[in-house]
Chain A
């Protein structure tokens, strides 16, 4: 007895201590859990920006950006024949009011083309106040979620400030927050009361042991009375008739009702933005140095433009390795779109028009490990993918090429 008491006391003290500890709130969306080769070689995001990161309930905010669908799509991942540009939120703290792909509004899923370039915009409206970590991301059918860069959004104001009214084709304005709710509750209560009446009709008399004994004694005829049978007959006829009449009344009330819509949108890619043919980049070799946490890429650059270009950035899975010599800035500061100045180039002289040059790039940063991209060398498909950004300093032009190569690990 004493030992049990001690045990309980100890458990109680333990729980009290645990409850006093500060529990960190999980804010991630599992974006690092997906295999690196899928994150690097499916949807390649760039130029993602939020219109604002601080706004009030009922105010609109938009996220826009671009993405390239990798040509070197992993063989183990189904092709993006049904994809859905989504927003990772902790529930509908925002609502999505508009979404555009290549300037076209779209609602359903879409078939993407490997090698294609797209630009997107999603308009959202604040619904619940709070501070939330939000990503645009793609749901890829049978593959998973490929996250775009996340950002912290701060929604101020009161939840009661939110409104969401839309118009049906017949011109009726409806409040999406309450539409059909009282009607639904009414019909659930209506059938619930009938069911409750039937249950009470039986439950009010002795049930289990008494009825079991009578049944075993052959007194079955006393267990179901004439009134019971009469009510059952009324149910048997009345309920189906009532159901059909109510159904008919509803059908007459909503003659224009249509079935749920579930078509697949078809939106063609933009004219080539990546691998547009002006400056071509061919990846010759890729090595990952585990100890130095650096990716060494040997590429052949073929400058067919009219002016000199320099390599400014290598980007993969929302990690941007910038060439410090070009003084570029990260796309999204203070968020988890990681920007590193860790890109070095063995021959960083501008590449002249018409020149072909083989250069070695070293993208070195702890982000390879912290973003769990170094797991690539343990994957069944250990190929890297990413985007290389080259800049024409004279005209301010930017050229983007996709990088793709098998990765050889170097352990020392």
Chain B
């Protein structure tokens, strides 16, 4: 049950009420921002973790598979609330922006000032373009099915090309210790991480092989398929959280 308002009796708020609901808007926005910075950041750090922390973990196979798959979770859930209840198409962008705020704060203060790593070694990836497309698609189609299939796929497919302008330069080859490395690999070798031996990196391991040496498109399309499934799952989790069962009068 929710607070259904017949159109014949609907009256927009005026005067003091308008001021109060606006104040309430800002209060919720600030709280939501901190909630998403904390919760999404924690969720992301515990799941994507090292793939997002370190420049020498951002490979062409697992990074574009894992990051969007985990990254689409909170955006889907928050979209379910903001679109379903308020017709606000900004859930994905808000979530990803909050994640990035939290991530940058951590990278600068925890990784750089506290643990002395150069910030360029721990640059985060961005998912903002995918989030913008996800919001726009949901708004234009008003369809969970279409947003799941095409929005989820776009979120995954856009991830790697979005981030290549940031991380491409770290893939320049370097001759070092009689072998070929990328600049990113060299960061991992030179800047000592006691708890992160090289073998822990998951770089192009497993049965998800390359096809004609193209690894990224395979991973991106695999991620697109999985994101299309992950999106509705988290949409329903978001809906379950956003019950208006007890709201009878407003």
Q: Which A residues lie at the B interface, using CB under 8 A?
A: 29, 82-84, 86-89, 91-99, 104-109, 127-128, 139, 141, 145, 164, 166-170, 172, 174, 176-181, 183-184, 187-188, 191-192, 194-196, 198-199, 202-203, 206-220, 223-224, 228-229, 231-233, 235-236, 239-240, 242-244, 246-247, 249-251, 253-254, 256-262, 264
Contact of A257 among B114, B128, B172, B197 (CB under 8 A): B172
Q: How far is the CA of A166 from the CA of B119 in the complex (A)?
A: 18
Q: Which B residues lie at the A interface, using CB under 8 A?
A: 2-7, 10, 12-13, 18, 21-22, 24-25, 28-29, 56, 58-60, 85-90, 93-94, 96-97, 100, 104, 114-120, 123-124, 126, 128-129, 131-133, 135-137, 139-140, 154, 158, 160-162, 164-187, 189-194, 197-199, 201, 203-205, 215, 250
Contact of A235 among B4, B22, B86, B136 (CB under 8 A): B136
Contact of A202 among B22, B90, B161 (CB under 8 A): B90
Q: Which residues of A contact B56 (CB under 8 A)?
A: 260
B59 near A224 with CB under 8 A, answer no
A96 near B189 with CB under 8 A, answer yes
**A-B CB proximity, top 7 nearest:** A139-B197, A247-B161, A84-B197, A105-B177, A262-B203, A257-B171, A217-B10
CB distance from B130 to the nearest CB of A (A): 8
B191 near A95 with CB under 8 A, answer yes
Q: Which residues of B contact A194 (CB under 8 A)?
A: 128, 132
Q: Which residues of A contact B10 (CB under 8 A)?
A: 213-214, 217, 219
Of the listed residues A104, A210, A223, the one surrounded by the most CB atoms of chain B closer than 10 A to its CB is A210
Of the listed residues B59, B87, B126, B175, the one surrounded by the most CB atoms of chain A closer than 10 A to its CB is B87
Contact of B192 among A94, A172, A184 (CB under 8 A): A94
A259 near B191 with CB under 8 A, answer no
Given A82-B199, A84-B199, A261-B181, are A166 and B174 also a contact pair (CB < 8 Å)?
yes
B5 near A108 with CB under 8 A, answer no
Q: Which residues of B contact A92 (CB under 8 A)?
A: 116-117, 190-193
Given A217-B10, A233-B140, A250-B168, are A176 and B25 also a contact pair (CB < 8 Å)?
no
Residue of B nearest to A125 (CB): B190
A180 near B140 with CB under 8 A, answer no
Q: How far is the CA of A8 from the CA of B121 in the complex (A)?
A: 45
Q: How far is the CA of A258 from the CA of B165 in the complex (A)?
A: 15
B164 near A251 with CB under 8 A, answer yes
A176 near B204 with CB under 8 A, answer no
Residue of A nearest to B162 (CB): A243
A96 near B192 with CB under 8 A, answer yes
Count the A-B residue pairs with Cβ separation under 8 angstroms: how many? 305
- Please list 22 pairs of residues, one from A and one from B, whose beta carbons are closer than 8 Å in the complex, sorted by A's number: A84-B197, A92-B116, A95-B192, A96-B190, A99-B189, A107-B189, A168-B173, A169-B173, A169-B174, A176-B187, A180-B120, A188-B124, A195-B96, A207-B88, A208-B25, A212-B250, A217-B7, A253-B168, A256-B172, A257-B171, A258-B173, A260-B59
Given A183-B166, A211-B86, A247-B164, are A196 and B194 also a contact pair (CB < 8 Å)?
no
CB distance from B140 to the nearest CB of A (A): 5
Of the listed residues A188, A223, A264, the one surrounded by the most CB atoms of chain B closer than 10 A to its CB is A188
Q: How far is the CA of A169 from the CA of B137 in the complex (A)?
A: 44
Given A86-B192, A216-B2, are A236 and B133 also a contact pair (CB < 8 Å)?
yes
B85 near A212 with CB under 8 A, answer yes
B250 near A213 with CB under 8 A, answer yes
A191 near B116 with CB under 8 A, answer no
B166 near A187 with CB under 8 A, answer yes
B185 near A170 with CB under 8 A, answer no
B133 near A239 with CB under 8 A, answer yes
Of the listed residues A184, A217, A261, the one surrounded by the most CB atoms of chain B closer than 10 A to its CB is A261
Q: How far is the CA of A106 from the CA of B189 in the complex (A)?
A: 10
B97 near A199 with CB under 8 A, answer yes
Q: How far is the CA of A260 from the CA of B179 in the complex (A)?
A: 12
CB distance from A4 to the nearest CB of B (A): 29
A93 near B116 with CB under 8 A, answer yes
B164 near A181 with CB under 8 A, answer no
Q: How far is the CA of A113 from the CA of B204 in the complex (A)?
A: 25
Q: Which residues of A contact B119 (CB under 8 A)?
A: 181
A232 near B172 with CB under 8 A, answer no
Q: Which residues of B contact A83 (CB under 8 A)?
A: 199
Q: Which residues of B contact A97 (CB under 8 A)?
A: 190
B161 near A261 with CB under 8 A, answer no
Q: How far is the CA of A269 from the CA of B25 in the complex (A)?
A: 68
Q: Which residues of B contact A109 (CB under 8 A)?
A: 197-199
Residue of B nearest to A253 (CB): B168
CB distance from A289 to the nearest CB of B (A): 36
B118 near A176 with CB under 8 A, answer yes
Q: Which residues of A contact B90 (CB under 8 A)?
A: 198-199, 202-203
Contact of A188 among B5, B104, B136, B203 (CB under 8 A): B104
Q: How far is the CA of A166 from the CA of B137 in the complex (A)?
A: 45
Q: How far is the CA of A109 from the CA of B198 in the complex (A)?
A: 6
Q: How far is the CA of A84 from the CA of B198 in the complex (A)?
A: 7
Q: How far is the CA of A169 from the CA of B186 in the complex (A)?
A: 13
A261 near B116 with CB under 8 A, answer no
B24 near A209 with CB under 8 A, answer yes
Q: Which residues of A contact B117 (CB under 8 A)?
A: 91-92
A259 near B126 with CB under 8 A, answer no
Residue of B nearest to A254 (CB): B168
Given A212-B85, A212-B86, are A240 and B133 also a contact pair (CB < 8 Å)?
yes
Contact of A196 among B97, B166, B193 (CB under 8 A): B97
Given A209-B250, A217-B7, are A180 and B169 also a contact pair (CB < 8 Å)?
yes
CB distance from B152 to the nearest CB of A (A): 14
A180 near B123 with CB under 8 A, answer yes
A235 near B133 with CB under 8 A, answer yes
Q: How far is the CA of A92 from the CA of B188 in the complex (A)?
A: 11
Residue of A nearest to B170 (CB): A180
CB distance from A230 to the nearest CB of B (A): 10
Q: How far is the CA of A348 from the CA of B176 in the complex (A)?
A: 51
